A and B are shown apart, each in its own frame.
Chain A
Amino acid sequence: MTLQLDGLSCDLGGTRILQKVSGLRAQPGEITALIGPNGAGKSTLLRTIAGIEHGQGALSLDGASLASQSLEARSRALYYLPQDTSSSAVLSVFEAVLLARRLRIAEARDAALVAVASALDSLELTPLAERELAALSGGQRQRVAIAQAIVRQPRLLMLDEPTSALDLHHQLQVLDYLQRFAQREQSILVIAIHDLNLAARFADHLWVLKEGRSVTSGSPGEVLTPERLRDVYAIEAHVEWPTGEPPRVTPLSALRSLGDS
């Protein structure tokens, strides 16, 4: 199973956000981290793959074109977790995760309940199962949203900054769990993320986007160089390569305004 995209473009409000993005060849069981500065088009790219935004270009999963598939058909194979997961819905955590499962898989009630309980347990959400969404902190809500994503067992899971509201413990816990989930389910994971050190630690590949264009992709060691960081983020950074570990990035100074292109 592979995800392939070629020449993917997307316009929003008359502005071209994605400009013929190509190059992603994501494999099952692997995590690809999508990195780049604000406004690079990371969220738009994930939404276009999910079918939430309309795009042009070639997009296929397992060799089957996604472009002609309806939103419902796409959602059976893939899932997009948005960055903003806030909700005032008067639903318990258990109900919200069950909802995500029932909209994806038709099965006996007990099987669905077991799947939900397992997902909650995996993300340390069991104590919150009866709490209402509106009563959760941002980080707890984000973990519930991740539980909603994994309970659907997607072949392709795209997460838009899934750790942005999490404390350090839960950042590591969630990314560690997602890594095991990708390997166990042989799913493709694409994660848009700002923290380069987390990206280097958990992702098999990094894919760099800037101003709606694909800049480069490769292993963390290949991509995270001081020159590349200067070019993409306009920063001076020190990059260490400890033996047997992923590279470590220490930002030193901002060089010039990046703007919000």
Chain B
Amino acid sequence: MIESLKATTAPRIAHPGGSTIDRYLRRQRRQRWLVVAMALATLLSLVTDVATGPGAYSLGDVVKALTMPGEVSRVLEVIVWDIRLPVALMAVVVGASLAVAGAEMQTLLNNPLADPFTLGISSAASFGAALAIVLGFGILPVAGTLLVTANAFVLAMIASLAIWALGRLRGVNIQTMVLMGIAIMFFFNALLGVLQYVASAESLQQLVFWSLGSLGKADWEKVGLATLALGVTLPLFFRAQWRLTALRLGDVQAKAMGIDVGKLRLRMLLCCALLAATAVAFVGTIGFVGLVGPHIARLLVGEDQRVFLPMSALTGALILSLTSILSKVLIPGILLPIGILTALIGLPFFVSLILRSRREIWG
């Protein structure tokens, strides 16, 4: 009996440090289960989001429409597949994109406040949108609703590239890059103010609506493009996962470990720029997710990028998906702008996590 008990409690790896290894493996399993749990919660939220809305369809009907579209009424099929699913998926993809961009910006710039919003990328996108809405000016030769999206994307990329280009200059450190981002935010906010001042009442209302963020105009094409941006950048982040984790030990230690810190920082910032610009261009400025999503992920699983990266993506996806549901049910019959709800739903969760963990999340 005692022998069999010994056998079950013996370290998995026969080594004097076997129990230390076992404790590490248990911690790793716990982290991975949390990622799986977050993925399931996000999936559940996605389905609930699709099931929420006018029409009083049950969750069962919606699940059936999702899994066996041919066996439900044509009306329900159209509602689920052509109207609600693109919006619900857009919430998930944009939430994940903003949170991943925020997580990596915080890692790369070693700053807990870094995210697409605080670094001016969202402000630049708003100015781009305002150029189209107020002046009808298009930077790219596109027309219709794509005009606003294209302008927002181009300006967001310009802002990101300005920070990126500054980082290439000799002697520029990460604090300077963060300050440059803040300066860009004020600069584009000022330009936006000029356009708001000269805008007509109608275009001003349109601009305010855009800047509050909305998933309402999502369609399969936009979901596809946003997913493509995430699909292109995520593997690059995963490929650099050990090096990105090492950056949090400080530049000198990362360099001592053989990492070309400057090159890694610039390449990964470009990926962040693509993610943030795509997300903001399609749904408008949505703050908070890019800032808080990574912080919640960090509290749950730490900063080993093997789990921190997927957890950040899923946390951002879940926050925006829950916000999407809330935007439909808070005032029945009215779709509230999602940008103003993200803080309302994310903040209490974030504060409760901080109070529960009672640990310093950033030195």
Q: Which residues of A contact B (CB under 8 A)?
A: 47, 50-52, 70-76, 79-82, 84-92, 94-96, 98-100, 102-104, 110, 113-114, 116-118, 120-121, 126, 129-130, 132, 134-135, 145, 148, 152
Separation of A74 and B256 alpha carbons in the complex (Å): 9
In the complex, whether B260 has a CB less than 8 A from a CB of chain A is yes
Q: Nearest CB to that of B26 among chain A residues?
A: A130
- Given A71-B260, A110-B13, do A90 and B20 touch, yes or no (CB 8 Å)? no
Q: Which of A70, A85, A113, A135 lies at the interface centre, i.e. has the most chain B CB atoms within 10 A of its CB? A: A113
Report yes or no: A99 in contact with B24, Cβ–Cβ below 8 A. no
For the A-B complex with A100-B257, A103-B246 known, give 20 more contacts whose Cβ atoms are closer than 8 Å. A47-B252, A52-B256, A71-B258, A73-B258, A82-B252, A87-B249, A89-B248, A91-B302, A92-B302, A94-B20, A99-B242, A114-B15, A116-B17, A117-B18, A117-B21, A118-B16, A118-B17, A129-B23, A132-B359, A134-B363
- Given A52-B252, A71-B258, A90-B298, do A126 and B304 touch, yes or no (CB 8 Å)? no
Within B198-251, which residues are at the interface with A (CB < 8 Å)?
Answer: 242-243, 245-246, 248-250
Question: Shortest CB–CB separation between residue B285 and chain A, in angstroms?
Answer: 28
Separation of A228 and B248 alpha carbons in the complex (Å): 42
Report yes or no: A75 in contact with B258, Cβ–Cβ below 8 A. yes
Question: Shortest CB–CB separation between residue B296 and chain A, in angstroms?
Answer: 12
Report yes or no: B253 in contact with A82, Cβ–Cβ below 8 A. yes
Q: Nearest CB to that of B23 among chain A residues?
A: A130
Residues of chain A lying within 8 A (CB to CB) of residue B362: 88
- Given A82-B253, A90-B298, A103-B246, do A76 and B17 touch, yes or no (CB 8 Å)? no
Separation of A129 and B24 alpha carbons in the complex (Å): 8
Residues of chain B lying within 8 A (CB to CB) of residue A75: 256-258
Report yes or no: A84 in contact with B257, Cβ–Cβ below 8 A. no
Q: Nearest CB to that of A111 among chain B residues?
A: B13
Residues of chain B lying within 8 A (CB to CB) of residue A52: 252, 255-256
Report yes or no: A82 in contact with B304, Cβ–Cβ below 8 A. no
Residues of chain A lying within 8 A (CB to CB) of residue B158: none
Separation of A208 and B294 alpha carbons in the complex (Å): 48
Question: Shortest CB–CB separation between residue B157 and chain A, in angstroms?
Answer: 30
Question: Shortest CB–CB separation between residue B272 and chain A, in angstroms?
Answer: 19
Report yes or no: B249 in contact with A96, Cβ–Cβ below 8 A. yes
Within B160-201, which residues are at the interface with A (CB < 8 Å)?
Answer: none
Report yes or no: A92 in contact with B303, Cβ–Cβ below 8 A. no
Within B316-363, which residues are at the interface with A (CB < 8 Å)?
Answer: 359-363
Separation of A50 and B251 alpha carbons in the complex (Å): 13
Interface residue SS majority, chain A: helix
Separation of A152 and B242 alpha carbons in the complex (Å): 15
Residues of chain A lying within 8 A (CB to CB) of residue B18: 117
Report yes or no: A81 in contact with B256, Cβ–Cβ below 8 A. yes
1/0 contact string of B3-41 vs chain A (CB within 8 Å): 000000000010111101101110100000000000000
Report yes or no: B245 in contact with A99, Cβ–Cβ below 8 A. yes
Q: Nearest CB to that of B361 among chain A residues?
A: A90
Residues of chain A lying within 8 A (CB to CB) of residue B259: 71-72, 103
Residues of chain A lying within 8 A (CB to CB) of residue B21: 113-114, 116-117
Listed A/B pairs (13) with beta-carbon separation below 8 Å: A47-B252, A50-B256, A52-B256, A71-B255, A72-B260, A82-B250, A87-B253, A92-B27, A94-B24, A113-B25, A117-B15, A130-B23, A134-B359
Q: Which of A79, A84, A120, A129 lies at the interface centre, i.e. has the most chain B CB atoms within 10 A of its CB? A: A129
Separation of A167 and B335 alpha carbons in the complex (Å): 63
Residues of chain B lying within 8 A (CB to CB) of residue A50: 255-256
Report yes or no: B15 in contact with A89, Cβ–Cβ below 8 A. no
Report yes or no: B363 in contact with A88, Cβ–Cβ below 8 A. yes
Report yes or no: A135 in contact with B20, Cβ–Cβ below 8 A. no
Separation of A76 and B253 alpha carbons in the complex (Å): 14
Report yes or no: B252 in contact with A84, Cβ–Cβ below 8 A. yes
Residues of chain B lying within 8 A (CB to CB) of residue A130: 23-24, 27
Report yes or no: B303 in contact with A90, Cβ–Cβ below 8 A. yes
Question: Shortest CB–CB separation between residue A98 and chain B, in angstroms?
Answer: 8
Residues of chain A lying within 8 A (CB to CB) of residue B16: 117-118, 121
Q: Nearest CB to that of A75 among chain B residues?
A: B258
Residues of chain B lying within 8 A (CB to CB) of residue A74: 258
- The answer, among A87, A114, A135, for a CB contact under 8 Å with B13, is A114
Question: Shortest CB–CB separation between residue B332 and chain A, in angstroms?
Answer: 41
Q: Nearest CB to that of B362 among chain A residues?
A: A88
1/0 contact string of B54-82 vs chain A (CB within 8 Å): 00000000000000000000000000000
Separation of A110 and B22 alpha carbons in the complex (Å): 11
Residues of chain B lying within 8 A (CB to CB) of residue A113: 13, 21, 24-25
Separation of A129 and B17 alpha carbons in the complex (Å): 11
Pairs of residues from A and B, 3 with the lowest C-beta to C-beta distance, nearest first: A117-B17, A88-B363, A75-B258
Residues of chain B lying within 8 A (CB to CB) of residue A99: 242, 245-246, 249, 304
Residues of chain A lying within 8 A (CB to CB) of residue B304: 91, 95, 99
Separation of A114 and B304 alpha carbons in the complex (Å): 19
Residues of chain A lying within 8 A (CB to CB) of residue B17: 114, 116-118, 120-121, 126
Report yes or no: B303 in contact with A89, Cβ–Cβ below 8 A. yes
Report yes or no: A103 in contact with B23, Cβ–Cβ below 8 A. no
Question: Shortest CB–CB separation between residue B303 and chain A, in angstroms?
Answer: 4
Residues of chain B lying within 8 A (CB to CB) of residue A104: 257-258
1/0 contact string of B250-273 vs chain A (CB within 8 Å): 101101111110000000000000
Residues of chain B lying within 8 A (CB to CB) of residue A110: 13
